[in-house]
Amino acid sequence: MDKIYMNQLSFYGYHGVFSEETKLGQRFLVDLILELDLSQAAEKDDLNASIDYGDIYKQVQAIVEGSPFKLVETVAQKISDQLLSVYPRLVSCQVKVIKPDPPIPGHYHSVAIELKRNRYEK
């Protein structure tokens, strides 16, 4: 299966279980791996046979910068559900949501969750 990678999409959202997160907000990064057949797009040099990356960005942005959720797991699931429902060519969607600066003690680069959803397993 062919893949489209979209890496480190950057947004500002208000997701989290702590009151500071929902009041002050924080950065979120999103990585996507979108699986679909790109052979027709490549052969015909036609965007209509692929997926518009700008549209994908806007769909993800609306979720991450929209209504707050307590868990990044929920954010990732909402992104996956949205993309699979809007883009019929999409066979599967792998979503990684990264919180670079979560309010937890310790030294680390970031925390993240990743999930993969397939159209035909729903």
What amino acid positions are annotated as catalytic residues? 99
The values of phi and psi at residue 52, to 5°, are: -75, 115
Distance, in Å, from the CA atom of 85 to the CA atom of 49, rounded to the nearest integer, reads 17
Task: Determine if residue 106 is left, alpha or beta; phi over 0 gives left, psi from -120 to 50 gives alpha, anything else beta.
Answer: left
Residue 10's DSSP bridge partners are 29
Cα dihedral sign, 36-121-71-88: positive
